[in-house]
Amino acid sequence: MGEKIKNFFRKDLVQYVVKRILMFIPTLFLISILVFFVIQLPPGDYVSTEIASLITEGELVDADYAAQMRADYGLDLPLWQQYGKWVKDIIWTPTDSTYYRLYHSHHNWKYSFAYKRDVWSVIQDRLGLTIGVTFIIMLFQYVVSLPIAVYASTHQYSPGDYITSVIGFLGTAIPNFILAIILMYLSYKWTGNANVGLFSQEMLQNGVHLYNFGEFMKRMIIPIIVIGTSGTCGIIRSVRAQMLDEVARQYTLTARAKGVSEGKIIMKYCFRAAMNPTVSGLGGVLSSLFSGSTVTAMVLNMQIQGPVLYKALQNQDMYLAGAIVMVQAILVVIGILLSDIALAFLDPRIRYSGGGR
C-alpha cells in the first residue's frame, strides 16, 4: 500500500498536475470570453425581454424607461467593457465596494435580472437538490449497470446477455423526454396522479421526513427510470466490451492456470482494467451534478438547476446564465483533471511525462 501511495506521488505526476493547474488560467479565460459573447449573441437584451413582458401584463412603457434601466444595469456600455467588469468582479470585488458591504463577499457574480436577486443566491437555492438528485440517479446507473456488464461479459451470448442488451439499447434509443411523458401518462392513467415534480406540496412546506419518505421515493421512480436507463446502456456496453477484451488476455489465462479463483480473476484483475474508460468518463460527472438533466427536468417539473439555466438563456438573464455555464466549465476542467489522476491511481502503467518512452 505504501508503495502504491509513493508511486502515486511520483515526480512526473506531480509535475503534470501543477502544469495542468497552471493551464487552468488561460483555459478558463478563453472559456469566459466564449461564454460571455455567445450569451450575448441573440438579438436584444434582458431589458427588451422585460419590457415585452410588462406590456403583456398591461403596463405602458416608454423609451426613457428602457434607457434608464440599461444604464442602471450597465447594459449601455460597450461589450468589451461589460465583459471586463464581469470578469474583474467575479475574480475580486474590493472591500470598499457596495457589493462587498451588502454581501460580504469578494466574488460578485452579479445580479439576476429575472429573479431580482444576487446570482449566487439563485444558484444556491437549487444546488443541494440538484446535486442530490443527480447523485442518486448516477449511483443508480452504476449500481445497476456494472453488475449487469460483468454478468453479460462472463455469460456472453447467454439469454441474460441478450435481455439486458435489449433493455439497455431501448433505454438509450428512446429520448428521455418521450419516456418521461409516457411514464407520466401511464402513472396518470393507472393511479390518477401524474406524479409531476419531485415533491408533494406537503413536502415543499414541511420538508421530507421519515413519514413522507415513501411518497418521495415514489416520486423519484420516474426520474430514476428515465434518466437512469439512458446512462446505463452506455456503461454496460463499454464495460462489457472491455471485460471481454480482458477476459481473453494472457494474464487472465495465466492466473486461471495458476489456480486463482474465478471471482478474484474477474473482480481484481479484469474488472479493474475494464473500468479505465468509465473512470476517465467521470470527468464530466462533476459538471452534470451541478446542472442536472435539463430537458428531462423540465418535462418532469423537477426544480433543479437545468431549467433555471434554460430560462435564463431564454430571458437573456445574462449574468445568471453566464455564472451557471462558467461554473460548469470550471467543473469540467477540474473533473477532467481528477479523472486523469484517478486513472493514474487505477492503472500504474499510465505515465504522464511527455514523449514515447
Partner 1 sequence: MKKRVLAMLLVAVMIMTAMTACTKKTETKDNGSKTTPAATSAPKKDDNTATPTPNVVEDVTVDVTTYKEAPILADKVAAGTLPKVEERIPDRDNIFVETNDAAGKALEIGTYGGVINMGPAGGGWGLSRPTLESIIRYNTDGSYYPNVIKSYEYNSDYTVWTFHLREGMKWSDGDDFNADDITFWYYMCHLNNFDGKKSWAALKENVNGEDAWATLTKVDDYTVTWTFVNPKYPADFIMNGDFKFCWAPSHYLKDVVPNYEGYEYVENPYWPNPGERDEEAVRLAAQALGISGESTKDIGKAAVYNFWNTAGIPTLSSFVLLTGTKDDPLCVMERNPYFWKVDAAGNQLPYVDAIHFNATSADGQDLLMFRSGDLDIFEVAMKDIASVLQDMGNKAELRSYASSNWGSYQITFNYATAEPHYSALFANPDFRQAMSICVDREQVSQLLSDGFLEPGQCAPAIGNFGYDAEWETKWTEYDVNKAKQLLEGCGLVMGADGFYTFADGTPFMLTFLAYDGTQDESYPVFEQYFKAAGINCALKNLEVGAFDNEVRNTDWVAVMGPHTSIGGLSLYDRVAPFVPVKGDAAEWYGLYGKWYETKGEQGVEPTGDMKKLIDLYEQWAGTPDSAKKDEIALKIYEVHKQNLWSIAYLKSEGSYTLINSKIKNYANNLVSADLYQYANIAHFEVLFKAE
Q: Which helix (H) or strand (E) element contains residue 118?
A: strand 117-118
Return the residue of 30, 33, 34, 68 that touches partner 1, per CB under 8 A: 68
- The residues in 200-259 that bind partner 1, with binding defined as CB under 8 A, are 201, 203-209, 213, 216-217, 220
Report in angstroms how near the CB of residue 118 gets to partner 1 at its nearest: 7
- 345 near partner 1, judged by CB under 8 A: no
User: At residue 117, what are phi and psi to the nearest 5 degrees?
Assistant: -145, 170
- 65 near partner 1, judged by CB under 8 A: yes
Return the residue of 55, 166, 186, 248 that touches partner 1, per CB under 8 A: 55
- 182 near partner 1, judged by CB under 8 A: no
CB 275 within 8 A of CB 182: no
Report in angstroms how near the CB of residue 290 gets to partner 1 at its nearest: 14
- 118 near partner 1, judged by CB under 8 A: yes
- 42 near partner 1, judged by CB under 8 A: yes
Candidates 21-29, 51-59, 326-334, 341-349 — which segment interacts with partner 1 by CB under 8 A?
51-59
CB 162 within 8 A of CB 340: no
Candidates 59-67, 153-161, 279-287, 328-336 — which segment interacts with partner 1 by CB under 8 A?
59-67
In angstroms, the CA 111 to CA 124 distance is 14
- In the Cβ-directed half-sphere of 24, how many Cα atoms lie within 13 Å? 16
In angstroms, the CA 29 to CA 83 distance is 11
CA 58 to chain centre: 39
Return the residue of 63, 190, 257, 355 that touches partner 1, per CB under 8 A: 63
- 299 near partner 1, judged by CB under 8 A: yes
Q: How far is CA 151 from CA 144, 146, 171, in A?
A: 11, 8, 19
What secondary structure letter does DSSP report for 6?
Answer: H
Return the residue of 2, 43, 78, 214 that touches partner 1, per CB under 8 A: 43
- 117 near partner 1, judged by CB under 8 A: yes
Return the residue of 199, 260, 269, 280 that touches partner 1, per CB under 8 A: 199
Helix (H, G, I), strand (E, B) or coil at 221: helix
- 101 near partner 1, judged by CB under 8 A: yes
Burial (CB < 10 A; 0-12, 13-18, 19+), residue 176, is buried
Burial (CB < 10 A; 0-12, 13-18, 19+), residue 2, is exposed
Residue carrying the nine cell digits 421515493: 217
- 30 near partner 1, judged by CB under 8 A: no
- 98 near partner 1, judged by CB under 8 A: yes
Q: What is the DSSP string of 161-197?
A: HHHHHHHHHHHHHS-HHHHHHHHHHHHHHHHS----S
- 313 near partner 1, judged by CB under 8 A: no
Report in angstroms how near the CB of residue 109 gets to partner 1 at its nearest: 12
Q: Residues 6 or more apart from 49 whose CB is under 8 A from it?
A: 315, 316
- The residues in 141-180 that bind partner 1, with binding defined as CB under 8 A, are 143, 147
Number of residues that bind partner 1 (CB under 8 A): 71
Return the residue of 301, 313, 342, 347 that touches partner 1, per CB under 8 A: 301
